[in-house]
Amino acid sequence: MHECVLPFFIRKVGKVRKELIQHLKQFVTDNRLEVFEKVLNNRTRYITVALEDIYQSQNASAVLRTSDCFGLQDVHIIENKNQYNINPDVTLGSSKWLNLKKYNELENNTIEAINSLRGNGYRIVATTPHSKDVDLENFDLTRGKVALFFGTELRGLSELMIENADEYLKIPMYGFTESFNISVSAAIILHHLTSKLRISEIDWRMNSDEKEELMFQWLKKTIKSSSMLIQEFLSKKNNN
């Protein structure tokens, strides 16, 4: 079976995916599997992050690392004028475990990202001072899933994004400087909201099917020659 067909085939046949996971676990240490299980149990899609047209790879990559540290699984990257490149010295491999969704096929991809996230049940939240903004401490997580949009250090979020946001969130500040840089803002907001989320009664964890899919993807990324092992397994199963 050709490698490019495997993901489609496995997604369609849940039983095969379960069997494959058990097969691949043989090639991973018990310690690594324990880490996978622990991380999966703390992963969430209730909160997600969207980065709009970030041009400083160092700060943007720091957001990926922060997202992984606080248990987020998905990060959405909007490329309008600037192409986002991961800085491996900053991410320290964290991007390997995240799902990165890029929006870069249109001249302006912001609306596409907003519509996609809104269509998946997310509240579109602009992290920027605004006349209708809410302080971080008072932000209500119980109203539904949250997509936090962060903009560039120089200009912040685009007017288009701000005009199409559902809500506005700000970090209270008491000094002369008007804003934090993007990596600091993300760290502060995600620390506060994920901490609040984990002690709430909100059903924030991923479902069993999502966890299973991630376990499969992480095993593939961890094991050398995983594609060959999968093909051999499926060939034997098909022959039997």
- What's the pTM value of the predicted model, to 2 decimals? 0.89
pLDDT at site 167: 95
Domain that holds residue 220: 206-233
Q: pLDDT tens across 73-106, in order?
A: 999 999 988 777 766 555 557 888 999 999 999 8
**Is 27 within a domain?**
no
pLDDT tens digits for 165-180? 999 999 988 888 777 8
User: What is the average pLDDT across 35-56?
Assistant: 94
Q: Could you give the CA distance from residue 13 to residue 194 in angstroms, rounded to a whole number? A: 33
Question: In this predicted model, what pLDDT tens digit does every residue of 207-236 receive, in sequence order?
Answer: 999 999 999 999 999 999 898 998 888 888
pLDDT 10s digits, 61-80: 889 999 999 999 999 999 98
Whether the pLDDT of residue 1 is over 60: the answer is no
- CATH of residue 73: 3.40.1280.10
User: Based on the domain organization, do 123 and 214 belong to the same domain?
Assistant: no
Cβ atoms 167, 67 nearer than 8 A? no
What confidence tens digit (pLDDT) does each residue in 124-141 have? 999 987 767 899 999 999
For the chain, the C-alpha Rg in angstroms (whole number) is 20
Task: Work out the average pLDDT over 6-11.
Answer: 50
Pair (69, 138) in one structural domain = yes
For residues 126 and 165, is the Cβ–Cβ distance under 8 A? yes
Number of domains in the chain: 2
Both tokens of 138, joined, read 């008072």
Same domain for 155 and 226? no
Tell me if 169 is assigned to some domain: yes
Q: Which class for 113: exposed (0-12), middle (13-18), buried (19 or more C-beta within 10 A)?
A: buried
Label each residue of the chain as H, E or C: CCHHHHHHHHHHCHHHHHHHHHHHHHHCCHHHHHHHHHHHHHCECCEEEEEECCCCHHHHHHHHHHHHHCCECEEEEECCCCCCCCCHHHHCCHHHHCEEEEECCCCCCHHHHHHHHHHCCCEEEEECCCCCCEEHHHCCHHHCCEEEEECECCCECCHHHHHCCCEEEECCCCCCCCCCCHHHHHHHHHHHHHHHHHCCCCCCECCHHHHHHHHHHHHHHHCCCHHHHHHHHHHHHHHC
